[in-house]
Structure 1
């Protein structure tokens, strides 16, 4: 050992000694259990004061690389490699805990994890069952499509030109007037919300919403510093919005058609009241309309259909109807807004899948999409009727619900407050996965979002039987 610290270095003598000993351990020259020379010997070797060596060894002991044995000396610890890794790697936990995007509720993390496991009965999933997806028809579409080389490259910032034109023609049937420049193709409705959050709102802005809301189960606004305010839509709505908004930026997030998770369908008057109240306070409306195509019966036009001033940002998607894996949705709004959000989208993912956009365009312009919707609504109606019959047979004494008007869900309300984390885990242990009401409203311990769209008929029957038995145990406890 002929090494000595460099007295001309900017690094202190103590730190040079720490680094030299650490390097010997890292190279394996000093294996676990190796006994170090005495402090006096090291001081002579390094030509430094003994106190300098002592301080260096104390630092290494604090790091867990060395350990002192009374009456024996100083040794390389047996977990020195682990200690070295901790010292050389970034403290990722600190990075995670101080990052901008906040973690989701533990319940939702469990839902996301267990949805991918085999043998789980998924009673809350917001997704179509695989056998409801038009897999063979989509495969056939790939044979029918003729791809130009340009079509397989990056699309324009706002998305495929043909697809945007087809969307304008499609939404016209719902009373929405739009030009291709008013449309931005997004990778699902959630990305539209994320783009709005980072592209239009300043930190501290207010996002108004219904008391029970899908937004409480995801964090596109919360994680960038927005203030979420739940508000009742009553006769004093306009006054309440003005009072709560004050001088801050604000938007109102709404799902007027087949609300997630409640399944409620707003009346035409409810839509008018919100539009007028927000117009009075100059508050933009985000209209999330991804479920409207799954209505069992016709309803009033969307809020966007009455929008003459560009106040409403309208979100549509094929994730709930055609395939969630295509990751195609759209956002309709004023040209200046759409250009702004398209610019941000290009900075984050350089455009949605070109092939997926071609497929969706083909389905819209060929009429395949609307034909598929007719069949899909019929299948969902049959599933909804089946689940309602099961509920009528067993649940009517302990719970209540409204007849579903479409979509995926029944908002099941237990008479007693039994839906808590323990109840969720209890069912999960029996391989039944549900979406409890408290992920949409932290104070709600009565509801579950019951989906009839994913589980098989046999799974629905078995899962509801287990749910009923667990609920009865809680009720009589």
Structure 2
């Protein structure tokens, strides 16, 4: 006999609770989410929840939704069970803000139009070349174990050659291979800075959507930007030297797409050298220029080892490789290499071999040419749709590289709960609030991932949400 639909929900929730997957004190999914999951109306969900409440397993709590209050083990007698939900608030690393958590979860939903993702579309993934390189690596494979602390020497030499082509004369001994630029930031935060240090950064900034520095007791201090990047005269150190660092994305800034011009870069380097303010230069978008190559990096202007330089293959080739690098003075790299060994004993050997082949074979630079052409087409499609549908409601600058268009909704159009409204219509956007832009009038729109048709449809839908 077929079970009624509400009973399927009851059984599902009971199984989650009895296995410990939903712990005591934890919030269960919303009625709307459960209704969507089981393809039923809300009244069916309510019937199921009422039965679970009668069994003493769940309870509605004001301001918290419906939470688990018992499991089958505790109901069998006078026993107590570990409340893991108390433990998850005790760790020193802060959680992501709720919107960021929701975005991270929704980015795996293929039914949504993804105008949030800061990565290349599968349409631009060089599948045949990747298969060929992986096959080549496989054919040359010998028994392998852990790599040396700084990373595979052939990969570091390939990165050194790659950087030389971009104006940076860096020895392999001054390069640390990491699992993406985010790991680089985590290593820097625990290895080079004191608790209570100040991290200067642009406002808005990608870094505000992370908790990597705040979790170890750092204070973020925002610096205003204009169309050429950070306003250098806004940097004011109030603490003693050695307790501050500057984090910047000067090339195709995330989220605004701003490109810092050469004169501003020179001003910034000069100021930071004079004030002994070290710099973290996040340069992961450098190769994604569309109109002309960007000015030389801050690192290439650095004569005193003041700049820590971050690069990655995640934005240009594949985030799945998990290969990035930090460049710095040897003493700094040795320190960070030791910390990396303590955390994961080195990045994947296979990924390092594959990355070496890409960089040393010439295929990476060929791939970049294709990517730039594709991004030009995508940018054109996005700008055409924006001009057609959003010109009356918003303003934006035209990016010359990267994936992002920073959209400012005009003040007369107040859109409350824009992120939620867009998500309910199958459209995933990154609101400005996650980058510390709190007016509610900004959106970071990515044209890197969605298909051309999805870009057009998504921008049209966005105009309808703002209009209504």
Instruction: Please say if 1:304 is aligned against 2:299.
Output: yes
Does the 8 Å CA contact 1:417/1:446 hold for their aligned counterparts? no
Does the 8 Å CA contact 1:209/1:252 hold for their aligned counterparts? yes
Q: Which runs of 5+ in 1 are unaligned?
A: 1-63, 65-77
- Distance in 2 separating the partners of 1:401 and 1:225: 35
The equivalent residue for 1:110 is 102
The equivalent residue for 1:207 is 199
Q: How many residues align?
A: 396
Does the 8 Å CA contact 2:158/2:356 hold for their aligned counterparts? yes
Q: CA offsets per residue over residues 387-424 of structure 1, 9 Å max, x none? A: 11111111111111111201111111111276766111
- Distance in 1 separating the partners of 2:83 and 2:298: 48
Q: Which runs of 5+ in 2 are unaligned?
A: 1-55, 57-69
The equivalent residue for 1:282 is 276
Does the 8 Å CA contact 1:417/1:445 hold for their aligned counterparts? no
- Distance in 1 separating the partners of 2:402 and 2:72: 58
Q: How does 1:301-340 map to 2 (within 5 A)?
A: 301-340=296-335
Equivalent position to 1:464, from 449, 459, 466: 459
CA drift of 1:241 comes to 3.8
C-alpha distance 291-240 of structure 1, shift in aligned 2 (>3 A):
closer
Equivalent position to 1:358, from 339, 353, 367: 353
- Distance in 2 separating the partners of 1:394 and 1:438: 23
Q: Which has the higher helix share?
A: 1
Instruction: Please say if 1:259 is aligned against 2:277.
Output: no
Task: Report the secondary structure of 1:294's partner residue.
Answer: coil
The equivalent residue for 1:18 is none
Instruction: Please say if 1:179 is aligned against 2:171.
Output: yes
Equivalent position to 2:140, from 137, 141, 147: 147
The equivalent residue for 1:292 is 286
C-alpha distance 84-340 of structure 1, shift in aligned 2 (>3 A):
farther
- Distance in 2 separating the partners of 1:248 and 1:333: 17
RMSD: 2.2
CA drift of 1:363 comes to 0.9
Given the two structures, how large is their TM-score scaled by the length of structure 2? 0.81
CA drift of 1:202 comes to 1.2
C-alpha distance 294-352 of structure 1, shift in aligned 2 (>3 A):
same
- Distance in 2 separating the partners of 1:462 and 1:283: 46
Task: Report the secondary structure of 1:245's partner residue.
Answer: coil
The equivalent residue for 2:264 is 270
- Distance in 2 separating the partners of 1:328 and 1:86: 51
- Distance in 2 separating the partners of 1:256 and 1:448: 20
Does the 8 Å CA contact 1:418/1:445 hold for their aligned counterparts? no
Task: Report the secondary structure of 1:97's partner residue.
Answer: coil
Does the 8 Å CA contact 1:107/1:421 hold for their aligned counterparts? no
Task: Report the secondary structure of 2:407's partner residue.
Answer: strand
CA drift of 1:92 comes to 1.6
The equivalent residue for 1:432 is 427
- Distance in 1 separating the partners of 2:78 and 2:458: 46
Q: Which has the larger radius of gyration?
A: 1
- Distance in 2 separating the partners of 1:166 and 1:154: 19
